[in-house]
């Protein structure tokens, strides 16, 4: 059986008790002005591409009052979207920010899905924490 879903996230819990995902980690570096000019250009261009190309789940999928542990996972078949991930990982490595890859056939209870991604909540602490 092959893993159908993939997620990149911090190995550490944030202040909300969740693991910040790949885009959140790089966005944090950008917000704090820590990216080089080249990194900033990559981040700007690729975030804009994701914003144009990837369907954004409805707000209730991320409503922390309803789903406090909700997290997005790409389908491993979403190669067009996964193809840009190495550039984000390179930025994190350059800044000493740890990011782990998680794979699963069943990452949790699905609260949103489309052909490229799912938003899930863990069924147990082992799934999400």
- Residues spanned by the domain of 63: 5-128
Provide the pLDDT for residue 111.
96
* Tens digit of each residue's pLDDT, the chain (129 residues): 468 999 999 999 999 889 999 999 999 999 999 999 999 999 999 999 999 999 999 999 999 999 999 999 999 999 999 999 999 999 999 999 999 999 999 999 999 999 999 999 998 765 554
Burial of 91: CB neighbours in 10 Å, binned 0-12, 13-18, 19+: buried
Provide the pLDDT for residue 106.
95
Total number of domains constituting the chain: 1
Provide the pLDDT for residue 16.
86
Provide the pLDDT for residue 58.
95
Provide the pLDDT for residue 55.
94
Residues 6 or more apart whose CB falls under 8 angstroms from that of 23 comprise: 47, 50, 88
pTM score: 0.91
**Dihedral of alpha carbons 31, 44, 67, 124, sign:** negative
């Amino acid at each position: 059986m092959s893993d159908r879903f993939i997620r990149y996230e911090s190995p550490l819990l944030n202040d909300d008790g969740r693991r910040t995902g790949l885009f959140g980690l790089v966005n944090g570096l950008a917000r704090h002005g820590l990216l080089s000019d080249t990194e900033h250009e990559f981040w700007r261009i690729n975030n804009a591409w994701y914003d144009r190309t990837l369907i954004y789940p409805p707000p209730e999928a991320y409503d922390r009052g309803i789903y406090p542990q909700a997290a997005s996972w790409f389908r491993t078949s979403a190669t067009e979207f996964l193809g840009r991930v190495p550039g984000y990982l390179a930025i994190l490595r350059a800044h000493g920010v740890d990011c782990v890859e998680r794979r699963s056939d069943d990452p949790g209870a699905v609260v949103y899905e489309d052909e490229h991604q799912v938003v899930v909540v863990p069924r147990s602490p082992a799934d999400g924490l």
